[in-house]
Chains A and B, each alone.
Chain A
Amino acid sequence: MTKSVKLEEKTLDLLQDINLDVNAGDTLAIVGSSGSGKTTLLSILAGLDLPTTGEVYLKKHSLHQCNEEQRSEIRANHVGFIFQQFLLVNSLTALENVMLPAELANMDNAEQLAKDLLTQVDLGDRLDHYPSQLSGGEQQRVGIARAFISKPDILFADEPTGNLDSKTGRNVADLLFDLNKQFGTTLVLVTHDLKLAARCQRQVIMDSGCLVEGKVEEIVEDAAEDIAEDIQKEQVESPAENLAQSKAASEG
């Protein structure tokens, strides 16, 4: 599969000779630097965009032959999304945001399912809050609940922790992987955060529009070491931080 765009006289190749299979239940990370084409790949895999040449299949649906409307229907029935910018609808409450995909998929008990999911992501008491009344981490938890409500066959997550600090990012990632395991959803994750990528069963690397095989384990190994280091550091720093906080509280 390829993807190119014409810019005036020139043709820009965004994706070149991509071959990728994702099995049901897999968790796959697409890593790569900015501009490497990973988001373009994700948008084609999710049926948001079409390849210039080649074929894309989602379950039995040949996405490359579907029009926008058919792809919409496929997305409603099979696909979930998590976005870096959260992309909650600002004028809907947390509960209504989560209900949205279930309603679009004509599920009967959308409201109850949404409430259960929000409780599960620890936002049971924030059902009526609007996105602007929630922190970034909370908004992304709403995003995660929204992604799982329609029990999608496949979930696409575009830099799900990209807009969060590392600690919140880790919590959100934990939640994502926990729910993914619970629902048995296929997960395709786009990130340049190798630590996050390391938590997936499979990793592929995008480099200048090509999928590069072979180096993945190596990079991820390095990343795994970094994670171990971080965890160690955190264990050392945390008592000091706790101490500082309690001191400030007693002084205040």
Chain B
Amino acid sequence: MAIWVKQSLRLLQHELRRGELTIICLAIVLAVATVFSLSGFSSQIKQSLINNSTSFIAADRVLQSSRPVEQSILQYSDENSLNRAEQIQMSSMVFAGDNMQISEIKVISNTYPLRGELLVRKHIGEAPVVEHAPARGTVWVEPSLLKTLNLSLGDKVEVGVSTFVIAGIATQIPDASFSLFTSGPNVIVNIDDIAATELIQPGSRLTYKYLFSGEINDIEAFEKWIKPQVNESQRWYDIKSRQSPLANALNRAEKYLSLASMLGIVLAAVAVAVASRRYSQRHQPTVAVFKAMGASLKHIRKLYLLHWSLLCLFSIGLGLVLGFILLQVGLFGVSDSLPVGDAKFSFYPFIIAVVTGLICAIAFAVTPIKLLIETSPLAVIRGFSAQPTVTSDSAAGNSLVKKGKSKLKNFGWQQLLPFSALFALLIMFSGDAKLSIALLLGGLIVALILLGLGRLFMNAGRSMGSRAGKAWHLAMANLRRRASENSVQLVSFTIAIKLLLLILVMKNSLIDDWQQQLPDNTANRFLVNITQQQVTSVGEFIDQNNIQASEFYPVVRGRLSSINDEKLIKQVTKEENKASDNGRRGVGRELNLTWRQTLPDKNIITQGQWWSENDTETLSVNKTESLGQVSVEQTLAKRLEIKLGDVLIFQIGSDQVEVPVTSIRKVDWQSLQPNFYMIFNTKVLADFPATYISSLYVKPEKTLDLQLFLNQYPTISMIDVDAMIGQLRSVIDQVSVAIEFILVLVVLAGSLVLVAQVQASMEEREREIAILRTLGAKGSLLRASVLYEFFALGAIAGTMASAAMELAVFVLQTQVFNMEASLHPLYWLLGIFVGAGFVGSIGYISCWRLLNMSSVTLIRRTM
């Protein structure tokens, strides 16, 4: 074995056994374990969240089309071992004797649904069972159809030219659309029966849905293949691409999990940077002695590259084991609220953790190890400084001043590699350039400002300390004297505290946002089709039963026919495709028009002004010429290029209404309340026959009363969104639990970075404490001074971290999570106190052993 290998192994073996590499090893172990557990946890959680939510679309992916798709697509999916189901949707009249009802015909294949459960009650009084498709010749219907057509199980209905027996009541349809204005209750028909109904005719308005599910890799491969082939009349989507509160929650949760894992990586990188610097300093004397004894640069280089590599490999291995344990603990911790068992084991966390470990170990260690290898043998005579003495053949002694200047110049270049590596890691990990740049650039600017501010604070501390008693004075003098090392330490403290605050604030802010979106009294029933005459009695029922309800919104159906005398036929036809592309109804068909005096909740005027009461008084209604006003929803306004002042003409029945646009509104489509594209001022539409809608929050004990009450009014339709809200809430709860756990992991990682950093500075303090003890400093003075020094460091770091956090949260809220920006003064207090308390106590505990050693022992240890 070569001498350098032998020496490298010998050094590593002894140093590991003697605990000399513990802190360095711990930092890398920590980095790898954090990244492993965070990435593993978030990927499993993401997977299981998506698995749990895919029931909302009854599949992993859906290809929607207005025409049947080519057989080759379906064939390819079969070849890729995907599961497949087909669905055709259309509106049609369903007849039962003399009664009829416009219904949503849902034609399904036997494999439907691929995700989630279709629940069907086969016999009155029995619990619903999980089903796939009705037997041929039978249909399953929604309860409201039975009510309106006065039917029961076993009765017959006519769909198209065929007659079907009602064999079941569909109580839960996984991908039922939530729309207040659907054409009617669902009637579920087997796909093999559809031809006989003769409902599919040229020109029929049909929606074909091809549902796919399978292993994540197979699905992704298929997605990659099919996406470029999706044409204008088709749409390829997954659960996250739907405009729904759920998709929104999932997307945000995913971003949060990415963010948390990215912060984990940054913390890991900080830990490795601290560790490699420490490594370099620690081995300087050894390198100098080796060189003085005649070891060549090549020998030292090989020796230490092997030494560092082995140390890294050892630590990465240990980190993987620890990370695996942490991950299992985490998954066990959330298993009650989130079934993660379904999520497949993946190599992803292993790969990402090892790559992170390696990249950090290489990029962050290059400069310190280069400096270490270049340590001059002259150091054996001249002594060791915090910065390794660099060899210079021309004049080693002459280089002192030059070094100072070039150090500053080199700083930028030296930091370029680790920063690029970190950036690459973040991009690789999140795939989100915006988030990565925000995190890194923000971090860089903050770090630079911090370095400057930290010095200022420490200087200010010294002048304050000089008036604050001996221990404070000593503490501040120490801070000042170690300003350069302390600045670095301060930056890493600050970054750790900042990241912890950031993740905490974002967690609370996200969860609050969701909870605001779905408060306890979120509307769970919608009443549609209430006539003018029924409004009073429905209102009375609501009042008597203390039911929370929105007001009654009048609805008149009308078609937007012209904008400023320009007929819309062409535009509307063109837009129809787009409208169906994003799945929102409106233009191209009749719109639901409403009128009201006040701006509805969760509507924000973005242009123009909402009308005042006076405007309404002066208005008159004229069926050809109106002095009314209309407020238009902003995406529709953008789509149809409607501007303030444009005059819109609506065709309502055989009449026309002409109104100028006086405002443009932003509408929160995710709010569970009636929302409208067009709102008119009061009385414009008052002469037209209107129906009313309202949203209610009905407590479980009142649902039966409501049902009985509504039985008197068969024309009123009730839409029950309880199940959907329940599902949504459970997904959000699961995400919240996952996020809480992620927070714990990041806090743990951050805390350990702090501990490692404090530990790393201990050896520097050892000699100093020894000298002070020898000179007769009392134990109490030294203890107080150490406590104050760390306390001050922690408080300064906490203050700067809070400021940095506020900045980062602002960017994240406004740029990444699309939320309202907010200030967090309470977290500033938390940052400062927790910073001071944590760093102070960790420092104090770490020094405790030293402070209680006898002077002789201390001197023996340090000399």
Contact = CB atoms under 8 A, between A and B. Distances in A.
A52 B395 contact: yes
A91 B11 contact: yes
Given A42-B381, A49-B396, A104-B299, A81 B15 contact: no
Nearest to A97: B289
The range of chain A's interface size is: 35 or more
Contact of B289 (A5, A6, A89): A89
Interface stretch (A17-25, A64-72, A114-122, A174-182): A64-72
Nearest to B13: A91
A19 B14 CA distance: 45
Contacts of B183: none
Contact of A68 (B297, B380, B401): B297
Contact of A5 (B6, B290, B295, B398): B398
A237 to B, nearest CB: 25
A76 to B, nearest CB: 2
A93 interface: yes
Contacts of B485: none
B294 A101 contact: yes
A158 B7 contact: no
A88 B289 CA distance: 8
Contacts of B378: 43, 48-49
B397 A68 contact: no
A229 interface: no
Interface string A178-197: 00000000000000000000
Nearest to A51: B395
A7 interface: yes
Residue among B18, B288, B294, B401 having the largest count of chain A Cβ atoms under 10 Å: B294
Given A5-B400, A48-B381, A92-B10, A105 B861 contact: no
Nearest to B289: A87
Interface of A: 3, 5-8, 14, 39, 42-43, 48-50, 52, 67-69, 72-77, 79, 81, 83, 87-93, 96, 100-101, 103-106, 130, 132, 136, 146, 158, 163
Contacts of B380: 48, 81, 83, 87
Residue among A5, A67, A72 having the largest count of chain B Cβ atoms under 10 Å: A72
B294 A105 contact: yes
Contact of A103 (B3, B289, B381, B400): B3
A92 B11 contact: yes
A95 to B, nearest CB: 11
B292 interface: yes
A76 B295 contact: yes
Contacts of A93: 14
Contact of B393 (A50, A87, A158): A50
A69 B296 contact: yes
B294 A104 contact: yes
B526 to A, nearest CB: 75
Nearest to B380: A87
A188 B328 CA distance: 65
A77 B294 contact: yes
A7 to B, nearest CB: 7
A42 B396 CA distance: 15
B516 interface: no
Contacts of B295: 72, 76, 104
B727 interface: no
Contacts of B6: 103
A90 B861 CA distance: 11
The range of chain B's interface size is: 35 or more
Contacts of A90: 20, 285-286
A53 B508 CA distance: 70
A250 B595 CA distance: 111
Contacts of B396: 49-50
Interface string B849-863: 000000000001101
A8 B400 CA distance: 10
Given A6-B398, A103-B3, A81 B292 contact: yes
A47 B494 CA distance: 45
Interface SS majority for chain A? mixed
Nearest to B16: A91
B466 interface: no
Residue among A73, A101, A130, A136 having the largest count of chain B Cβ atoms under 10 Å: A101
Nearest to B377: A48
A8 B401 CA distance: 7
A43 B652 CA distance: 102
A72 B291 contact: yes
A72 B14 contact: no
Which 10 residue pairs are nearest across A and B when measured between Cβ atoms? A76-B294, A75-B294, A5-B397, A91-B14, A91-B15, A101-B293, A43-B381, A72-B296, A48-B378, A104-B294
A48 B292 contact: yes
B286 A75 contact: no
B850 to A, nearest CB: 15
B562 interface: no
A83 B285 CA distance: 13
Interface of B: 3, 6-7, 10-11, 14-15, 18, 20, 285-286, 288-299, 377-378, 380-381, 391, 393-398, 400-401, 860-861, 863
Contacts of B394: 50
Contacts of B401: 6-8
A103 B299 CA distance: 12
A155 to B, nearest CB: 12
Contacts of A77: 294
Residue among B293, B393, B398, B863 having the largest count of chain A Cβ atoms under 10 Å: B293
Contacts of A105: 294
A68 B391 contact: yes
Contacts of A39: 381
Contacts of A100: 7, 289-290, 293
10 contacts: A6-B401, A52-B395, A69-B296, A74-B294, A77-B294, A90-B285, A91-B11, A91-B20, A93-B14, A163-B863
Contacts of A69: 296-298
A66 B298 CA distance: 16
A75 B292 contact: yes
A43 B378 CA distance: 7
Contacts of B863: 136, 163
Given A75-B294, A79-B294, A89 B391 contact: no
Contacts of A158: 381
Nearest to B14: A91
B18 A91 contact: yes
Given A75-B292, A79-B294, A91-B20, A106 B3 contact: yes
Contact of B286 (A5, A7, A52, A91): A91
Contacts of A92: 10-11, 14
A83 B382 CA distance: 11
Given A87-B285, A93-B14, A163-B863, 18 more contacts: A5-B398, A5-B400, A48-B292, A52-B395, A68-B297, A68-B393, A72-B377, A75-B377, A87-B292, A89-B11, A89-B290, A91-B11, A91-B286, A100-B290, A100-B293, A104-B299, A130-B18, A136-B863
B296 A73 contact: yes
A108 B377 CA distance: 25
A81 B18 contact: no
A79 B861 CA distance: 30
Contacts of B294: 72-77, 79, 101, 104-105
Nearest to B381: A43
Nearest to A46: B292
B3 A89 contact: no
A68 B299 CA distance: 13
Nearest to A100: B293
A75 B292 CA distance: 7
Nearest to A83: B380
B279 to A, nearest CB: 13
A15 to B, nearest CB: 11
A132 B861 contact: yes
B20 A72 contact: no
B59 to A, nearest CB: 61
Nearest to B294: A76
Contacts of B7: 100, 103
A7 B293 CA distance: 30
